[in-house]
Each structure stands twice: as structure tokens, then as C-alpha cells.
Amino acid sequence: MNAPIELTDEQIHKNMANAIRALSMDAVQKANSGHPGMPMGMADVATVLFSKFLRFDPKWPTWPGRDRFVLSAGHGSMLIYSLLHLTGYERPTMEDIKNFRQLHSPTAGHPEFGECPGVETTTGPLGQGLATSVGMAIAERLANKEFGGDLFDYHTYVIAGDGCLMEGVSQEAISLAGHLKLGKMVVLWDDNSISIDGKTDLSTSEDMHMRFEAAGWHVQSVDGHDEEAIETAIELAREDERPSLIACRTVIGFGAPNKQGTSATHGSPLGADEIAAARVELGWPHEPFVIPEDVLANWRKVGAAGAKLTASWKKKFDGLDAAKKADLERRLNKDLPAGFDKAIDDYKAKLAAEPQKVATRKASQMALEVINAVLPETIGGSADLTGSNLTLTKGMGAITADDFSGRYMYYGIREFEMCAAMNGIALSNMHIPYGGTFLVFTDYARPAIRLAALMKQRAIYVMTHDSIGLGEDGPTHQPIEHLASLRAMPNLNVFRPADVVETAECWALALKAKETPSILSLTRQNLPQLRAEFTTENLCAKGGYVLREATGGKPKVVLIGTGSEVEIAAKARDILEAEGIATRLVSMPSTELFDKQDAAYKASVLPADALKASIEAASTFGWQRYTGLDGVNIGIDSFGASAPAEQLYDHFGVTAEALVAAVKNKL
């Protein structure tokens, strides 16, 4: 009987990489949709990374001490699906891979967080995986400083494509990472010089190496099909204190003899004939979706190696001081400290005793002074507007390249990267990030906010200067359509508090929303405290509530206001009441939470037989669903103007007098 043939390390590597290529081209072919080129081109790089460096355990996908792997070039999703299956994760199964891009399958067209264990973040829009990974690397440094290197000392590895590096957010990301010297971040660039339209020289000619070097990165170049060169490059990257870029020169669609190296392999199935030719070219004679036992065994051995790592980590975790261990467990479960509710109630009681007339941006800072004192995991920040957003509180300390013991990030003028990095921080479950800019600049950050909502991450956006009330900066800085468009986004809570008490309550709701990001829309101008009586009940929790009841019977008119316009609606109510018109005032800080209430509650707040009128210094779009076709909607359906705030409110007719006149005209 002949002895089994001993394979060389090179042959073992080749077979393991070809398993990725085969699964990728077969899955895309069966789906008749997808991107086979990138997985086939980067199979060698991924094989080296997973088999030689990546610290993970398929049996404990959420192990807090694991390395993070981010496929920023998310269109090549079959690369990560192949890796997860081959290394022994519960999902995707082979059946899942056969159902690539099909309804109810976890193998979506682009990797989605929460669908497959081992997918660390949702990627798809190019550049966002790279941008999010900066936050992951920041989270590691924060946890390392706070809980020690025995528990948190992991790397963040990113596979990025040419498209990721063309997107503007990539510049924000590499600039921030270089500034913070995130040495445990390694980007493996699929340097294949191909995009959908053809060769990348159609649209770009920059020196990518110099670009990264200028941002303070360690830069190397390797043959992306030479496993020894790849291994050496990753070793050198891990030894450098700077973030690292490894330019991996690859052939897109490697192994497809007639299409490799061309855009024909980028976003289309190879076709049956080319796949047959590729099997010959690669020396892979196996049927579609069949992985030989010896190849699968080698991959499963890679996955099984993680068990020792997690056992060692668990032993260190169990040896923690009891209080520290409990705090860590609480954070990982996204729970708030036991004293949180009492701290908020005590603060509200103080406000009842000592009313405050302040802008809600100041009210936010006042609430944060209380919150940050009892919640050690909050990480604040601002996109170069700290003094305007008022996101910094006492004793937070700046996070710098030399000191990660602080709790405040100076993100610079990088709104998109700030929110993407917040996603990366939130995904660690170790910290709760909040970051500020002007509400109008959610336009710069929207793609990251959208991914937070899609991934169900608790990120909190402190968006100040929320209306024409910001005044003289003019229409470029005055948000009009933003509230309506943000309210249209699924799984995003948009809070627009009316005073200092509502601001505290909205902060509490945002922090308790474990699976929903929140926007706090806050004023520049001072607002009176409308809530004078103390209650432990969070009235904002139902989204809308009766702030002032009609006198003398059921309401004939219901006025609905948000934020700074609740004060205006309160004045209008007083005028109408003085004229004998029974008028109720409703504050609606969150339409999302109000819409979630049962029909009986909504009807009790907005009775069908009353005339309903809304007022908000923003687009009237969407308010008709509360006021009806015959209701009144006071707002601004044009762009703003440059002038003092008081003049602008008069100019655009967002006043108590205008509201009263419109209501009386309808009665």
C-alpha cells in the first residue's frame, strides 16, 4: 500500500487558497450575480492572514480579545463567507453559500453585521469598512489602557480595494489613524489596478504609497500571490508603531485564464466555460461546492487553534478583581450602571427646584456632566466644534497618540470619519460613543449614520445649531430638510427636546437604546424651562405627550411643537385660551417613539375631533400624518437666510401670532 503523499507547505497553501477561489466562483455563478474577481485575487493574502496571524475562535465569534477582520471591499463578500465556512463558523453553512445573495440567506451581497458570526461590521459602500476600522483600532487602545494588555491587545486587519481608497472618507480615515499612531491597524490593499469601468488609470494617477506615508503610515509593497512575502510583510507591519499599509499587487480573477486581470471578472459571473478552464488552470478538479477532506481539515485546524487562545483569555478574565469583572461584563451586555436612573432623577429634581433657561446644546452639556460622572464608558468628541457643540465635560481628558486614558476625541473637521469611527467604537460594546457637529452637516455624515442604524449600534450624535435659530451663518448652515430626511431613516431615533428637562430625558433614552442610534437635535438659542414639576417618569419616552392641557373641557385645538418651537406653541396656546378656545399643547420630541405607541395612546394625545396644528422651524414634510389634510402646518419649505434669529423667525412666519392666525382661519 502506497504511503500518502506529503505535501509541501507551498502546496498546502495553494490548495487552501484555491478552496476560496472555487467557492467564490461557484457561488457567484449559481447566483448569477456577484463579484468573483476580488476573492480570487486576494485568496493568497487572506489565507496567509487567517492561517498565520489572525487570532479568532469560530466557537466564540464575539470573544472580546479577538483580532478584528474587516472586508472593506465588501463587494468581494464571497472571500469572507468562504473563510468563515472553511474555518468552522456555525454560519455560513455550505447550503448558505449555495444560496449566496438569495432571500433569507445570511450570505448577502455585501457582508452584513449580525447575519453571519464573524462579520465584524456591515460593509458595502466603499471606504466605510476602512473608516469604521479606525474606530475599532481606537477601541482596542482605549480598552488596553483601561483594562490592561492581558485582556485587550488585538489587531485590526482590513482588506481594502482601489475603490475604498478613492472614496473621500478614506482620506479622513488614514489621516486620523496616522495622527493617532494606531500601530495595531494593518490595511491590506488589493492593488489590482482594476475597477468596474476598466483600469484605474482611467480615473486616478496618484501615488498611493506617498499618500499614506504623508499621513504617517508604515508602507510596504508585496507580490500578493507570494505567500512568504505576504507573511514577512505582515510580520513587519505588526512590529511597527505606525498603522501599516501593505500594497498587495494581485491579479483580479486569479486563475481564470481568459479573464483574469480584466474588469470582466469584477462584477459578473465568470460563466460555465471560464469556470471549467479555471479549474484546469488552478489544478482544482473537484465538483462545484466540494472541498476535499484534506483541504477542509487544514482549514478547520486553523479555526480550532483559537480554542487555546480563548481559554487563556477566559482564565485571565476570571482572575479579575470582582468589581472590574462586573463592570466589564456590564459593558459587554450594553447595560447601564445601577445608579444611572437615580442620577438622572436627582438631576431632574434639581432642575425643578432651580429652573434653567439655556440653549438645549448647553442643556446637553449639563446632562452630560451628570451622565459622564456615572457612566465611565462614554467616549465623547466633536468634529472641530467642541466649543459650539458643548460635548466636553469636566475631567474627560483628550485622547492622543501618546495617551489613550482620556475619554474625549478631537476628530478634526472629519464629520464622516467621526461617525464611522463611532460605529467602530460602538461595535466593541466596551464604550458608548457620542460625537458632535452642526445638524446641517449630517449630510456629510449620513452614510455612517445609516450604517449605524442598519447595524443596530448605539451611537449618539449631538447635532447642534438645529434651525434658522443659529442666525447669521445663513442658509448654508441652517438645516431645513434635515429633520424630515433623518426621521425617514429606519431604526434611527431623532430627538428634538424643548427644554433642559426634556434634554436630560432624551439623553437617558438614547443611552438606553441598545440597538438604535440617536440624534439629539439641539438649539443655539436659549429656551425657557417649560417643565417645572418633578416626575420620575420619563415623559419623552412615549415620543409625544400633553405638556399643557386645555382648560374648560376637551380640546378644540391641539398644538404640536418640537424643540425651540414648543415655546412658541405655548405662547399661541395662551392666546387661544385667553380667547376662549380650548387648546392643548403637545410636545413631540421624538416622532419615532410616538409612532411606536398603541392607537389608544396616540388618540388620547391627538384626538380625532380636534383641529391639529404643528409648528417646527424646518420642512413641514411629514407633519400631515399628525395634523391631517385639514390641519395646520407652520414651518419653512424654502432655504433660510442670513440675519439675526429673531428677525428670521418673523420673516418666515414661525411665530405664535402666525400660528394663532392659521388656527383661527381653520376654525
Instruction: List, in order, residues 6 or more apart from 556 with CB less than 8 Å away.
Output: 550, 581, 582, 583, 610, 611, 667
Type and span of the H or E element at 190: strand 185-191
SS3 call for 606: coil
| C-alpha cell read off for 109 | 451581497
Comparing C-alpha atoms, which of 84, 81, 83, 82 is closest to residue 59? Answer: 84
> Catalytic pick from 112, 172, 377, 415?
415
* The residue count for the chain: 667
- Dihedral sign for Cα 434, 439, 444, 450, please: positive
Alpha-carbon distances of 163 from 127, 160, 197, 449, rounded to whole Å: 7, 8, 11, 21
What does the DSSP 8-state code read for residue 431? Answer: -
Cβ-contact 420, 173 below 8 angstroms: yes
Which one-letter amino acid corresponds to residue 613?
Answer: A
Cβ-contact 224, 211 below 8 angstroms: no
Is 415 catalytic? The answer is yes
What does the DSSP 8-state code read for residue 398? Answer: B
Instruction: List, in order, residues 6 or more apart from 137 with CB less than 8 Å away.
Output: 156, 177, 182, 184, 185, 243, 424
Three-class SS of 456-508: CCCCEEEEECCCHHHCCCCCCCCCCCHHHHHHCCCCCEEECCCCHHHHHHHHH
User: In angstroms, rounded to a whole number, what is the distance separating the alpha carbons of residues 68 and 157?
Assistant: 6
Residues noted as catalytic: 415
